[in-house]
Amino acid sequence: MEGRRKRSSLFGNKHKEQQAGCILNVIEDLMEQQKRLEE
């Protein structure tokens, strides 16, 4: 049981990292658009 719980928590952490990466990419895209608008 213990090993199974650890494995699922690892998958959960990986999923959170992927979500954070997607959010960072979106923010970077928005910042790029802002720069273009300001020019």
Which residue in this structure is represented by tokens 């273009």? 36
- In this prediction, residue 5 carries a pLDDT of 65
pLDDT of residue 29: 96
Q: How much is the pLDDT for 39?
A: 82
- Res 4: pLDDT: 63
Which pTM was predicted?
A: 0.54
CA 10/CA 12 separation, integer angstroms: 5
Tens of pLDDT, residue by residue over 1-39, are 566 666 667 777 787 888 888 899 999 999 999 999 988
DSSP 8-state code for residue 39:
-
Per-residue tokens: 16? 């959170």
The structural domains of the chain, with segments of one domain joined by +, span 1-39
pLDDT for 16 equals 82
Place of tokens 């719980």: 5
Q: Among 26, 6, 1, 30, which residue's Cα sits nearest to residue 38? A: 30
